[in-house]
Amino acid sequence: MKKSKTFIACFIVPCLIVLAVTYFYPVARTLLMSFFKTGSVTAPISTWTFAGLTNFKRIAMSPDFRQGLVNMLKIWIIGGIFAISLSLLFAVILSHKNIRGKHFFRAIVYLPNVISAVAIGNAWLYYVYNYDFGLINTVLGWFGVEHIKWLGPDLKFGAMLAAIIFGVVGYYMMVFIGGIERIPEDVMEAATLDGANAWQKLTKITLPLLKGTTKTIMTFWTIVAVQSFVWTKVFSPITTESSTIVPISYMYEILFGSLQSPEVDIGTGAAVGVLVAIIIMIITSVINRLFKTDDLEL
């Protein structure tokens, strides 16, 4: 078949134009804006005032941003361990041949994923964690235990993290199940014939062969951890709190102002976006190095 460069260009150019306008231009503009002071997001570049690293210095000095960064890393590390472990556990159990009703249980575990984060967050807030009438305190009351303030400043972060994990486990479980079901059966049969027990099969065969899947899920989880703005707003409506603030919610307040601090600082908001993007790139490259999949052979 004769190649036609013109034909190829006709197909690629529209896509490139859309990509440039909707992706490259905003990214480049945001990067540039992070070094300037400007009155609004859409102000012409000619009206910007060069500020050098002032915006980045402001972020570095901001206790709220630093706390947001700490919260985000805690969500990624602690939440990641629990989310991925739980979803892997459910996947291993519910991909076993002899489990009755496994399709039903898969659907139940996956169900929170089809409900919006706002609905899940509010359900946890008002029905599970409520100090007077919540599920947990009601059950604790049956055993004579005093009501616990799950949404107090000390426990609120953990409460929010539990709700986030509840919302994502189902989806990651399904991805793991897909990975497990792709493992050839003859490999498992050979291991069984060689006398391997369930634990050995899990640790020596299943987990190594799930490296690629685990890498994918860690990437998804990184995005969830960075973009936990919705959860922050559900658990801390109206005002931001140290226990739930993340860099994106700090950026939101800086970009749009708030009742408490109406002044906006677009350049600093852009700088937060740039920093968060750099953090994601670093984390992703660490994940890629840790989970190299080219050393496996079947």
- Of 155 and 187, the one with the shorter C-beta distance to other proteins is 155
- Of 21 and 281, the one with the shorter C-beta distance to other proteins is 21
- Of 106 and 156, the one with the shorter C-beta distance to other proteins is 156
Closest approach of other proteins to the CB of residue 21, in Å:
16
Residues in touch with other proteins (CB under 8 A)? 39-43, 58, 61-65, 67, 125-126, 129-132, 147, 149, 151-153, 235-243, 245, 253-254, 256-265
- Of 169 and 254, the one with the shorter C-beta distance to other proteins is 254
- Of 54 and 62, the one with the shorter C-beta distance to other proteins is 62
Closest approach of other proteins to the CB of residue 277, in Å:
21
Which residues are registered as beta bridge partners of 50? 36
- Of 134 and 179, the one with the shorter C-beta distance to other proteins is 134
Closest approach of other proteins to the CB of residue 236, in Å:
8
Closest approach of other proteins to the CB of residue 169, in Å:
24
CA atoms within 13 A on the CB side of 266: 19
- Helix/strand/coil (H, E, C) string of the chain? CCCCHHHHHHHHHHHHHHHHHHHHHHHHHHHHHCCEECCCCCCCHHHCEECCCHHHHHHHHCHHHHHHHHHHHHHHHHHHHHHHHHHHHHHHHHCCCCCCCHHHHHHHHHHHHHCCHHHHHHHHHHHHCCCCCCHHHHHHHHCCCCCCCCCCCCCHHHHHHHHHHHHHHHHHHHHHHHHHHCCCHHHHHHHHHCCCCHHHHHHHHHHHHCHHHHHHHHHHHHHHHHCCHHHHHHHCCCCCCCCCCCHHHHHHHHHHCCCCCCCCCHHHHHHHHHHHHHHHHHHHHHHHHHCCCCCCCC
Judge contact between 269 and 62, C-beta under 8 A: no
- Of 1 and 259, the one with the shorter C-beta distance to other proteins is 259
- Of 263 and 294, the one with the shorter C-beta distance to other proteins is 263
Residue 48 corresponds to which tokens in the numbers above? 């910007």
Closest approach of other proteins to the CB of residue 298, in Å:
33
Closest approach of other proteins to the CB of residue 79, in Å:
20
The string over 128-140, giving b where at least 16 C-beta atoms fall within 10 Å of a residue's C-beta and e elsewhere, is bbbeeebebbeee
Closest approach of other proteins to the CB of residue 162, in Å:
15
Closest approach of other proteins to the CB of residue 121, in Å:
11
